[in-house]
């Protein structure tokens, strides 16, 4: 399966952002990609107003999603991103959407909200309470995660034990001391924990690091971006995945609960 990762800086104007998403979809489809992963919270972003994406939250029936679905009706590319979707007045859900064939085929409300490093996402965002579904893309089972979920290995492992071959991760990873190291280390760790491919897109505005990555099941980076807007590509190989899991059968060897020794 050929995968694409689109990295860009989200602007204050949602109409510009939807056009950027549509452009990435067109380019990925033309390049023969079957899966495209875009960043987290692509509706709107302002360095001086951290609440802008929630203020501009839309419903599932408004123009942003409608335009993405319209674009996807012309091909079988699966596009994954997150948007803020309205819940109650003044609040929203950070919602991952998988779009294909003119419709939303799966959605996931972010479980682990980013209440860390002096940020409190839960102030205006409602956490989900259900693990995301697996979706199938080109014969691969794909598990869905969002940004801060990356720091919780049990979530990635639960998806792998449910059958995931690939983990996808839209993100907006904040800059800060050692944050690029945290990002690259955690992506490799989740690949090694699960022997899954990991496909991660990072927003690359002034406050977020970019550094999108595609990582193989042995934790090796096979495609990478720096801090500039770009599209990167890689081929994911089912035969290689099978070989890695035969050589390193951590999913089979795990002993989650040992009997108590007397």
Q: What are the residue numbers of the active site?
A: 40, 110, 147
Strand intervals (E) in the chain: 2-7, 35-37, 78-86, 92-100, 103-109, 115-116, 119-120, 134-137, 140-144, 166-171, 197-202, 213-215, 221-224, 230-235
45 vs 144: CA distance, rounded Å:
23
List the Cα angle 225/206/31 in 5-degree steps.
30
Residues in the chain, total: 262
181 vs 157: CA distance, rounded Å:
22
Tokens 């259900």 identify what position?
130
103, HSE (Cβ side, Cα atoms, 13 Å): 2
Helix (H, G, I), strand (E, B) or coil at 157: helix
């Amino acid at each position: 399966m050929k995968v694409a990762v689109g990295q860009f800086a989200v602007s204050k104007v949602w109409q510009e952002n939807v056009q950027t998403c549509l452009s990435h979809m067109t380019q990925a489809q033309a390049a023969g990609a079957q899966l495209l992963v875009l960043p987290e919270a692509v509706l709107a972003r302002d360095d001086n107003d951290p609440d802008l994406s929630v203020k501009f939250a839309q419903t599932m029936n408004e123009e942003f999603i409608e335009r993405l679905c319209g674009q996807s009706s012309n091909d079988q590319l699966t596009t994954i991103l997150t948007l803020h979707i309205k819940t109650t007045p003044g609040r929203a859900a950070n919602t991952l959407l998988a779009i294909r064939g003119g419709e939303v085929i799966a959605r996931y409300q972010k479980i682990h909200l980013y209440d860390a490093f002096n940020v409190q996402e839960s102030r205006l965002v409602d956490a989900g309470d259900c693990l995301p579904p697996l979706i199938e893309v080109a014969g691969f089972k794909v598990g869905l995660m969002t940004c801060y979920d990356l720091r919780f290995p049990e979530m990635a492992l639960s998806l792998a034990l449910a059958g995931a071959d690939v983990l996808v991760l839209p993100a907006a990873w904040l800059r800060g001391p050692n944050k690029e190291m945290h990002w690259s280390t955690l992506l490799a760790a989740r690949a090694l924990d699960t022997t899954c491919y990991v496909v991660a897109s990072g927003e690359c505005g002034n406050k977020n690091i970019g550094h999108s990555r595609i990582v193989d099941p042995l934790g090796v980076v096979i495609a990478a971006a720096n801090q500039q807007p770009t599209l990167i590509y890689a081929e994911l190989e089912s035969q290689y995945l099978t070989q890695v899991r035969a050589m390193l059968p951590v999913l089979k060897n795990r002993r989650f609960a040992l009997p108590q020794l007397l």
